[in-house]
Amino acid sequence: LTTEAEDAKKNLISFKGEIEKLKVEKVRMIARMRNAQARVRIQRALEEISSDDDVRALEEVRESIQRMLAQAGVNHEIAGSELGDKLEAIRQRNTEAKAQAELADLKRKRRPPLAPMDIFTAAANAAVNGDIKHAN
């Protein structure tokens, strides 16, 4: 009986040791699983962000280049055509009109203020009344 009790005790201690090892392994495995899950989430996020943003940025660059090329092409075509001369004439007239408007504004600002009409009518009335008095 003592031997069997000692064997049972050894088995329980051994069993307890195995349980401890399994607990440690469980913690490690959970940590590894969470690490792997986090890596998968990060990878998915990076794939979504980088591909969408990269594609969008590339499209924007392409569109910008196309606009610049189109503008350069239009400018090149306009520069050598009759339309270019017309546009230049329009720009020149616009510049002249602005200059004329500025000149008129400056002249208006420099002109002394006009006197009220009452002064002139009063002076005219006084002159008429004075002339009439002198004539008598």
pLDDT at 3: 93
- If asked whether residues 96 and 74 sit together in one domain, one would say no
26-45 pLDDT tens trace = 999 999 999 999 989 888 87
* DSSP secondary structure code for residue 80 in this structure: T
Is 98 in the same domain as 61? Answer: no
Express each pLDDT in 71-129 by its tens digit: 777 666 555 566 667 777 778 888 888 888 888 888 777 776 665 666 667 666 776 66
User: What is the pLDDT, as a whole number, of residue 27?
Assistant: 92
Q: Are 105 and 111 in contact (CB under 8 A)?
A: no
Query: Considering its fold, how many domains does the chain have in total?
Result: 2
Q: Which two tokens stand for residue 121?
A: 């009518």
Same domain, 36 and 90: no
Q: Which residues of 106-122 are buried (b: 16+ CB within 10 A; e: fewer)?
A: eeeeeeeeeeeeeeeee
- What pLDDT sits at residue 134? 47
Asked which of 53, 79, 105 is the last residue of a domain, the reply is 79
Q: Smallest Cα–Cα separation from 73: which of 81, 61, 10?
A: 81
Which residue range forms the structural domain that includes residue 117? Answer: 82-136
66 and 90 fall within a common domain? no
Our CA dihedral for 130, 131, 132, 133, rounded to 10 degrees, sits at: 50
> Which of 34, 63, 79 represents a domain boundary (last residue)?
79
